[in-house]
Amino acid sequence: MSISHPDGDYGSIAKIFHWVTVPLMGLALATGLVIPHLKDDAKNLFYTLHESAGLTILLLSVARLGWRRVNPPPPLPESLPRPLRVAATATHHALYVVLILQPLLGFFTTNAYGFPQQGDTAFWGIIDLPKFMEAREGLAGVLHSIHQVLGWLTPFLLAAHVCGAIYHHAIRKDGTLMRML
Ligand code: HEM
Ligand code: HEM
């Protein structure tokens, strides 16, 4: 427990997981939203960036949740009213669902379309991933639709999260933002 943040800090490993994920999520979202509007010959670079950023988020988030089990985060401030407590916890849970489920959906979508991450779209352009399944167009369509819906919801969830952080910092002045910095 620190003097500047009386409810306790996040540990430095938890902070690294949090802040490394932010630009990767920015990359995954920006490329994901641009891909449908690109000409076919320009798509592969964006697929590579999108899928590699997304899979890296998945790997980091699995490690992060493992780390979190062993090193639980500091409790929410005592002064936080119950509705805000519920909202903060629900948002964090929803963010973890996106961090894990969205890359898995994307991964199974590409595989079900018959495009394993090999050659031009290898992981970060370097590592060929094994072909995971035979192409199954119907399944690919369903997974793609769910991935699209969750992909479009993600910016709103992130906006709510960031607004919450700013609200804590600027209005409640309870040190919540500082303990993640
Ligand atoms: C947190 C990680 C991810 C986020 C936030 C994300 C988000 C998105 C978004 C917003 C779209 C555009 C939806 C649309 O308007 O059509 C999209 C499309 C797509 N994503 Fe992801 N995605 C992630 C991870 C992945 C991963 C890991 C893969 C594959 C390994 C993947 C494969 C795809 C594919 C194949 C499309 C369809 C692109 C097209 O229209 O051709 N995504 N994603
Ligand atoms: C890709 C973008 C982001 C994602 C996916 C994300 C995700 C998360 C998650 C899952 C947590 C819960 C950590 C835990 O208890 O295990 C968290 C906490 C936190 N995030 Fe973010 N975050 C993002 C961006 C930001 C930004 C831009 C800010 C600042 C403006 C921010 C500020 C915070 C703060 C202050 C906490 C700690 C809240 C508390 O102490 O209860 N996050 N974030």
pLDDT tens digits, 80-112: 899 999 999 999 999 999 999 999 999 999 999
Q: Does the pLDDT value for residue 1 go beyond 80?
A: no
Q: Does the pLDDT value for residue 169 go beyond 60?
A: yes
Q: Does the pLDDT value for residue 2 go beyond 80?
A: no
| 119 HSE (CA, 13 A, CB side) | 5
pLDDT category, 5, cuts 50, 70, 90? Answer: low
> Does 6 reside within a domain?
no
The CB-based long-range contact list for 64-67 (8 Å cut-off, 24+ gap) reads 64/14, 64/17, 64/21, 64/99, 65/96, 65/100, 67/13, 67/14, 67/17
> Does 170 reside within a domain?
yes
**pLDDT (tens digit, 9 = 90+) per residue, 32-47?**
999 999 999 889 999 9
- Rounded to an integer, the average pLDDT of 121-149 is 96
Beta carbon of 92 within 6 Å of any ligand 2 atom: yes
Please name the residue ranges forming H helices in 71-169: 82-113, 137-166
Residue 35 buriedness (CB in 10 A; 0-12 / 13-18 / 19+): middle
- Cα-based distances in Å from 175 to 4, 119, 132, 169: 8, 47, 46, 6
> Does 33 reside within a domain?
yes
Q: How many domains does the chain have?
A: 1
Beta carbon of 147 within 6 Å of any ligand 1 atom: yes
> Does 2 reside within a domain?
no
Ligand 1: which of 35, 124, 157 to mutate, most ligand atoms within 8 Å of CB? 35
**Nearest Cα residue to atom 3 of ligand 2:** 22
- Rounded to an integer, the average pLDDT of 141-167 is 98
> Does 5 reside within a domain?
no
> Does 118 reside within a domain?
yes
Angstrom distance (rounded) from CA 64 to CA 95: 13
> Does 1 reside within a domain?
no
Residue 39 per-residue DSSP state: -
| Nearest-5° Cα angle at 150, 19 to 115 | 90
* Domain enclosing residue 115, as ranges: 12-180
Beta carbon of 102 within 6 Å of any ligand 1 atom: yes
Angstrom distance (rounded) from CA 154 to CA 152: 6
> Does 101 reside within a domain?
yes
Atom of ligand 2 nearest to the CA of 177: 35
